[in-house]
Structure 1
Amino acid sequence: MKKKLTSRYIDTVTAPGPKRLEVYDLMLPGFGIRVSVTGGKTWFCSTRVDGRIKRIKIGTHPAVGLSDARDQAKSILHNAQLGIEPPEASLTLGEVVPMFITLYAKPRNRGWCEQERLLDQKWAPLYKTPISQIKRTDAVRILDDIVAGGAPGRANHALAVLKKLMNWSLDRGMIDVNPIAGLKPPSKSKARDRVLTEAELSKFMDAAKAEAYPFGSILQVLLLTGQRRGEVSEMKWSHIDFETAIWTIPAERAKNGLAHDVPLSSEVVSILRSLPRFAGSDFVFTTTGTTPVSGFGRAKARIDDAMGTSDWWVHDLRRTAASGMARIGVSPHIIEKVLNHKSGIISGVAAVYNRYSYAEEKREALEQWAGHLIQSTIQGSRESGDKSDPTMRSTTDHGSGLPRI
């Protein structure tokens, strides 16, 4: 698209979507502005260098005005006519992040969504800064703000993912020096040991059953199976065999790279059979039919209100399941098999030669754990004065509340 660029036009132009809009200036060929669907506006200049068209980023609006951007474009075009090659423009952090996620994080890390979320949430203030101009003090300032906001652990995670991005950028020649190399985490990491009490388990199960699909049902399955949140979130119907009551987590989806068969207790089978299905979708827990469910924040807040506490994380459910099974007499090596731990009681040489699957033992452990949770819910309901029949709620009401889709 070509148009005479004016300050008024630049202030009001928007990208109609779904793609960004590029507008070339009629007064100065090669000069233009790119408007993203989110409203960002970037000046650029296109010129021919060694027979190839090269685009040079000049700056962003409104930090750089129309007059200054046009003057800079004139200088670039003038030098190009004299055979002077324009300098390489440094990519901004916001431009590097999607490249890092696509080329590095996705192929190597199942937790790439969390890495992307951390970058978007915590490092957004630096997104418009050229990556080569980011200073150590910039990172420290943001980390200090995160810690001051009461999330020191989150600050450690934010630093870790930015370090990976910077090292990746250094390897690719985007930067000459990693400005945060050697920067220590802002807080000392602590191994989390939170386990829900028996009273909290009863309240949690009641609250989860009252919560609508998909979060109410997925939270129950997380606690009943003891599997990782990412693995349960990405559960697919095609990986569930209802005849044998086994859910198979493929090796490529398991965190430790080992395929894992999870025996499903009768309680979990009942939950899964009650869930709605999206036409043409293989995801068990989804709100779109095209992607697995994500974003537990609002649902957790509602569960918190019902439980009367917010001092727990979704990952604590896995630890609670492991501790609960140990408490009711399940052997440690069986718990490890249920959790699909790669090392532990059975490790080293023993792990190499011991190929027994412990399928029946795992099934028995998970059935015992489900039964214990049901009894805890019943006992909790009696103690709280609930006159309804908790036995019926524990086996039939799983909070789906939706018809098949």
Structure 2
Amino acid sequence: MSGINNKKRKTPPNRRRLTSLYVSKAVPGKSRIRTWDTDTPGLVLQVEPSGAKSWYACYRRNGRPRWFRLGSVGGLSLSGAREAVRMLNAKLTLDSSFDPQAEKIASRTAGTVADIVDRYVSGHLEKLKSGEQAEYLLRRFVVPKIGKLVAAEVQPSDIRTLLKTIPSQSIRHQLLANISGLWNWSIRNDLLPSSMNPATGIEQRKPTARERVLSDAELPMFFHAFDGASLIAGRALRIILYTGQRPGEVRQMRWQDLEFGRHQFTDDKSNTYASDGAWWTLQGRPSEDGTWPGTKNGQSHRVWLSKPALRIIEELDEERSTARGSPFVFPGRAGHPFMSLDASMRQICTALDIVKPDKVTPHDLRRTHGTTTTSLGFSRDQMNRIQNHKEGGIG
């Protein structure tokens, strides 16, 4: 019993001797229609679904078919198209290096990297929800470094040199993917030769979980993305960054633990001064009413709220009337604290087109606070005291 061949057969080319009457009456279909002229080898009439009709010369170079547009049917007659293809065929026969389509592409690629970034943004990224982040990365890191280079002449070594200037592994991973996407789109749209993508084959070491902190370039992107989250989630995530406290403790911040007013301070030289603001007290032990779980290490702790953090708390204080008397600064449902910081951060990463292993968790915001604190010249011991955790890692 013979088997059934399920392999899809290619539709044979539509060939016929073209006439002016046939060309004028050719009607569009649901997809592009091509008709090969049997009178002049290589001449093709192409009819788009929109009804647009064009003349093409089809020839082969390096074992691959090439399609060279001669012009529109309205601007070039059948006899003129036949004559153009005959002349083209003669040149192709006499000169094996002659490739008019490649020359056409080369004339388009005389532009710089900055030029193709502009076209990529307007022709592709502006249509994507995640396009804003990709545009930011390309304009922030690629254009200033290699924007003036001729795009068709960029080499893998140029991309490697560019990536070495970026300290964040996460940014390097994202940027490499966006550079590859830029070149692939440009190749598909005949802006660059199909044989080159300088990002191909370049590998980057993946960051470990403990290394995941937001870079200086990522911070503004995430602050902007927080505005797209819910009002409660966006504000809570900002407080984690501003204070460096554990996400669970921020989530369960209570109004009764905030002390607003004018407070006295004494500096290391015994000078006393006053400042308006608020202390947040985190009790080491759980509260009797169950609304506070106690700190992770069981040690009571106080946090002075910076001005950006205080503004968020004051905004929430003005909205307390809508929280139905909740004891929590970040209220959730049925009298509970807000429960979905992890889910909110996953949604933010999705919106920013950040995937594993580069996804960011609420705890990574705390880690970012700690890394930033030490980078500003504070000791690790001072950072540990600010974040209320024991030596050995940010927990």
TM-score class, shorter-chain normalisation, is 0.3 to 0.5
Structure 2 length-normalised TM: 0.37
The structure with higher relative contact order (CA 8 Å, sep 6+) is 1
Q: State which structure, 1 or 2, has the greater radius of gyration over its C-alpha atoms.
A: 2
Structure 1 length-normalised TM: 0.36
In terms of fraction of residues, the more helix-rich structure is 1
